[in-house]
Structure 1
Amino acid sequence: MEFAERPISSKTVFHGHLIDVEVQQVITPSGKKAQREIVHHAPAIAILALTDDNKMILEKQWRAPIANTTLEIPAGKLDQRDADNAVHAAKRELNEETRYEATNLKKISSFYTSIGCMDEYMTIYLATGLKRVTHELPQDQDENLALYEITLPKALEMIELGKIEDAKTIMAIYYWQGMKIRG
């Protein structure tokens, strides 16, 4: 069975600081015309940062798309400072957002964040052996963060109560739970 669609036209309808939006006209495998709206986003990273006393670092911040605050693991997009290097971006974001550096940084997984409309590809890392940085990188001007350290049982309870609703954070917490089960 054929699945690939054939674009017949494409137009960028919005170019922003964070995203670009493209509208494509396509021909489906069955020969029908359809429209596709695609959000282009830079690759991104997220970090499950675990302290030596076995707590995860969460950030509380405002998220305009949902007009509310969220609790999330540290995360950010790759930019010109990273030269397409996700590990560099993870180290940079960990410094900028938490003021820690990790002795150990291990890739957990990579995935598309919202495959129905967006091409953002995110890699989650596990950061352990955290130490305070000696050189603080500047934080993004538009970020306002409050940091929390949460135990695994508390994090699982917060998911159950709807206090943590961010997908990458939930995925990281369930990975952490799996680490505990596996030993």
Structure 2
Amino acid sequence: MTNLIEKTIHSEEIFSGKIISLHLQDVELPNGKQSKREIIKHPGAVAILAITDDKKIVMVEQFRKALERTIVEIPAGKLEKDEEPALCARRELEEETGYECESLELLVSFYTSPGFADEIVHLFVAKGLTKKENAAALDEDEFVNVEEITLDEAIKYIKEQKIYDAKTSYAVQYLQLQEALGNK
């Protein structure tokens, strides 16, 4: 078996922003040669596959500046420092959709782009949804439209590229698999 570990020789933070930081690293490769790596550090995030009692998926439509367009996504948000993912998921669900949930279960955690970023997303399934009368407000720079769609509509949105992000596509495919297996 080949050793695959890259040893960090030097790391320098070259940008620190509100959400991410960018580090330039000098590394020693398994063959002894050196190379550079650009690494984005991210605090992690949660995403919530919120399913209503009538089997609709709660989605948010929002403008994504990096894409210069709106897309439809499952609710999601960044973890605060030392915040437990389940608490963050409940907070983000309420802030973005106005819903609270009876049950919240971790489905999976995954890295979004491990070639250059350490962002991990914790994907939860939320059920037993109730609309809150005095729900927590969105962040002041956040604007969303909330919609509830069926699985068939979500599949159509993927084909039409209205749903165009990995976490939401993953969540929709999970529901498709559950339906195919008869796990409703």
Verify same fold: TM over 0.5.
yes
Structure 2: segments with no counterpart, 5+ residues:
none
Q: Deviations over 1:130-151 (max 9, x none)?
A: 0012542231111010011110
| 2:136 aligned counterpart, secondary structure | coil
Structure 1: segments with no counterpart, 5+ residues:
none
- Counterpart CA distance in 2 for 1:94 and 1:47 is 7
The corresponding residue for 1:139 is 138
- Counterpart CA distance in 1 for 2:140 and 2:83 is 22
Determine if the alignment matches structure 1 residue 112 to structure 2 residue 111: yes
Please list, as runs of the form range in 1=range in 2, the aligned pairs for 1:20-169 lying within 5 A after superposition.
20-80=21-81, 83-169=82-168
- Counterpart CA distance in 1 for 2:94 and 2:60 is 13
Q: Deviations over 1:58-117 (max 9, x none)?
A: 11111111111111100001114xx43000000000010001011111111100011111
Q: Deviations over 1:35-67 (max 9, x none)?
A: 100000011100001111111011111111111
The corresponding residue for 1:175 is 174
Q: Deviations over 1:12-56 (max 9, x none)?
A: 000000100000011101111111000000111000011111110
Which range moved further: 152-161 or 114-123?
152-161
Structure 2 letter corresponding to 1:104 = S
- Counterpart CA distance in 1 for 2:171 and 2:30 is 37
- The Cα RMSD (Å) is 1.1
Tell me the matched-pair count. Answer: 181
- Counterpart CA distance in 2 for 1:36 and 1:58 is 36
Give TM-score scaled by structure 1 length.
0.95
Which range moved further: 98-107 or 159-168?
159-168
Give TM-score scaled by structure 2 length.
0.94
